[in-house]
Amino acid sequence: MSKQSDYLLASEARSINSAPFDGISHELCSRRKDVIMMSADLSKYTQLDSVKRDFPDQHLEVGMAEQNLLSVAAGVSKAGFVPVATTFACYATRRAYDQMLVCMGTSPLTNVVIGFTPGIANPARIHHQAAEDLGMVRAIPNATVIDPMDATEFGQALNAAVDLPGLVYMRGHRGNTPCLLNTGHYQFELGKTYQLRGGRGIGIIATGHATQWALEACDILEQENIDHSLLHVPTIKPVNEAEIADYCFAHEQVVTIENHQIVTGLGSLVAEIVSNIGRGPRITRLGVPNTWAPGGTLPYIREQLELDAIQLAKRIKEVSGE
Amino acid sequence: MSSAIESGSNQKRIRELKLLAAKIRRNVLDICMQRGGYAGQGVALADIAACLYFDELREDDNNWFHDRFVLSNGHDAIMCYGAFAEHGAYTMDALRTYNADGTVVDQSPIEGQLGFEITAGSLGQGPSQSAGIAYGERLKGSDKRVYCLFSDGELQEGNVWEAAMFAGHQKLSNLVYIIDNNDLGATGSTATTLSVEPVPEKFESFGFAARRINGNSIEEILAAFEEAKSIRDKPYVMICDTRLFVGIDCLQKTLPMAHYVAKAQADWQAGLAEIEATIEALSQ
């Protein structure tokens, strides 16, 4: 393990935050009175309770209407506030994509959207899952797309997001969320990539929830003495092409892991960067394949899609040839 | 002030607005005859534009508008251009590049273009954005009023009703919706495609104060704007019945249902001659 990983990751005693957004949103609203937390009848399920209770003027409910959520939010920004529109990722993107692109994407004003239970992190299959959100928003010119890996990064990224121009789409975490990063040393910077494990064997690139999965697989690889490294890429757009290219060209084999379809998301992004240069390493993309993910508990869904720690480690080993 | 003087002053104001509306109609034809455009809507909305830009919206200290106007249906930007030529925000030389490749005078403007608050054109998104602006202005304690123009065809978009439910629930009395009720969608009569009536009753059930008016009567438009300001606990909607090319008879006869008018489609010179005669008569 490299020094950098020791430095960035928390010690063995990792804490769990049972309601990360409750604290993150409360802290932000107490500090920034221009921020308006908005919800579409899901504040209870995105854990926005404390803001609603303590700062009622900074909470705006639009009802079960996501197109309205994003377009009203765009109006709120035009009155001088910073809206943070919260709902599930599937509704924020699929249901209200045109409002996101037109009302927020063409505006220079800060419009933050947080998509909770992204990818397969929702037990209700297909309609509540969102395995295509990163690709959809990545296609909007000048948008910012962030997929934080844990509660620590979620809070830091949101604090950065409210000062960025234009549309910022973030994936959110709810419920028991680990604090994996060292809160004393880690600092989120837009566009920066973070090497969490150092090694010269196979290169692993992950983002968001999938960085948690990658770390679990890395623990198995380490026990089996498989040389590897792990690069965490929280900013999907604007992407740091140079850091990703440097990392990829330092490895003969690269595996990408994402809580997303293997098309249009992180894997595609890495492949685009490498192919632009040419003669790069082979990229193996792991994530949701061209199928509907099953419903159920996250461990079950991951197992079915061969994304649980044991199967991920096995698939990485197969790619590495060890 | 005696009522006779007041009445005289009001008549002068109405006469001036009628003249401005006629000039806006002329500007719309001048702009659209270059390469085509949404001439019928621009002409039909001239009375609303005159009342809005030259009477209702209050000025700020920078020769701009204190109150906020949100255009939802982008193609009705032609109405704004006709008025901006009189206001001075754009020159007629600039406006004559409307619909030209590379122009900054967009047929359907993008947020940030002078005079336009939102990217208008994906229909049904102005009502909710203007409701968001009205909510934010009220939250700030500002006295700014927010006006949003959209069309009866847009009423077929679900987002409009999500916005109406929100505005009614929030009792946004600083918000005024202006509906261009011209019975025309992209392919023909709204009544035939998918009826949107009864429009006032629908909005009333969403918590609005509503009034149906003749959208080409300066008197009725001014009265509706006054009524809107008197209502303290509800948003207001004025359903403005209009028809394409109202005010230029020769074009209304030949192009009664032309959603878009190509350059070769209209007898622009006949239309210009008619509206110039109207301007001359109103200038007496």
What is the residue extent of each domain of chain A?
Answer: 3-10+188-320, 15-179
CB within 8 Å: A72 and B140: no
Type of residue numbered A140: I
Which among A201, A202, A278 has a CA at the least distance from the CA of A245? Answer: A278
Token representation of residue B162: 């999500």
Cβ of B29: how many Cβ atoms within 10 Å? Answer: 25
How far B111 CA sits from the closest chain A CA (Å)?
6
CB within 8 Å: A68 and B134: no
pLDDT tens for each residue of B18-50: 999 999 999 999 999 999 999 999 999 999 999
**Rounded percentage of chain B residues whose pLDDT exceeds 90:** 94
ipTM: 0.95
Can you name the CATH fold of A3-10+188-320? Answer: Rossmann fold (3.40.50)
User: Which residue carries 């992950």 as its tokens?
Assistant: A206
Q: Where are the domains of chain B?
A: 16-283
* Residue A2 binned pLDDT confidence (cut-offs 50, 70, 90): very low
Q: Of how many residues is chain B composed?
A: 284
pLDDT tens for each residue of A264-301: 999 999 999 999 999 999 999 999 999 999 999 999 99
pLDDT (0 to 100) of residue A7: 79
pLDDT tens for each residue of A203-234: 999 999 999 999 999 999 999 999 999 999 99
Can the peptide bond before residue A234 be classed as cis, meaning omega within 30 degrees of 0? no
pLDDT (0 to 100) of residue A5: 56
**Rounded percentage of chain A residues whose pLDDT exceeds 90:** 94
pLDDT tens for each residue of A108-133: 999 999 999 999 999 999 999 999 99
Residue of B nearest to A102 (CA): B119
pLDDT (0 to 100) of residue A184: 87
Residue pair B191/B154 in contact by the 8 Å Cβ criterion: no
Residue of A nearest to B160 (CA): A68
Residue pair A100/A144 in contact by the 8 Å Cβ criterion: no
pLDDT (0 to 100) of residue A11: 76
pLDDT (0 to 100) of residue A1: 36
For residues A136 and B30, give the distance between their C-alpha atoms in angstroms, rounded to a whole number: 42
Reply yes or no on whether the pLDDT at B151 is more than 50.
yes
| CA distance to A29, A148, A246, per residue, from A157 (Å) | 15, 7, 24
Average per-residue pLDDT for chain B? 96
Interface of A with B (CB under 8 A): 36, 57, 60, 62-63, 65, 67-68, 71-81, 83, 98-99, 102-103, 106-108
Give the CA radius of gyration of chain B: 18
**Rounded percentage of chain A residues whose pLDDT exceeds 70:** 98
CB within 8 Å: B166 and A62: yes
pLDDT (average), residues A65-87:
98
Residues of A in contact with B125 (CB under 8 A): 71, 98-99, 102-103
Can you name the CATH fold of A15-179? Answer: Rossmann fold (3.40.50)
CATH class belonging to B16-283: alpha beta
Residue pair A307/A286 in contact by the 8 Å Cβ criterion: yes
pLDDT (0 to 100) of residue A10: 87
Residues of B in contact with A83 (CB under 8 A): 132
Sheet with strand A282-288: strands edge to edge: A194-197, A228-232, A202-206, A253-261, A282-288
Q: Which residue from B111, B117, B162 is facing A65, i.e. has the nearest CB? A: B162
Type of residue numbered A119: G
For residues B124 and B155, give the distance between their C-alpha atoms in angstroms, rounded to a whole number: 7
Residues of A in contact with B132 (CB under 8 A): 71-79, 83
pLDDT (average), residues B175-182:
97
Residue of B nearest to A65 (CA): B162
Residues of B in contact with A108 (CB under 8 A): 111-112
How far A118 CA sits from the closest chain B CA (Å)?
24
* Residue B2 binned pLDDT confidence (cut-offs 50, 70, 90): low
CB within 8 Å: B139 and A79: yes
Token representation of residue B63: 């020769």
Coil/strand/helix, residue A231: strand
pLDDT tens for each residue of A161-173: 999 999 999 999 9
For residues A134 and A260, give the distance between their C-alpha atoms in angstroms, rounded to a whole number: 8
DSSP assignment letter at B244: T
How far B150 CA sits from the closest chain A CA (Å)?
15
Cβ burial, residue B46 (10 Å; 0-12/13-18/19+): buried
* Residue A13 binned pLDDT confidence (cut-offs 50, 70, 90): low
* Residue B7 binned pLDDT confidence (cut-offs 50, 70, 90): confident
CB within 8 Å: A79 and B132: yes
Residues of B in contact with A103 (CB under 8 A): 118-119, 125, 129
Which among A41, A167, A36, A162 has a CA at the least distance from the CA of A103? Answer: A167
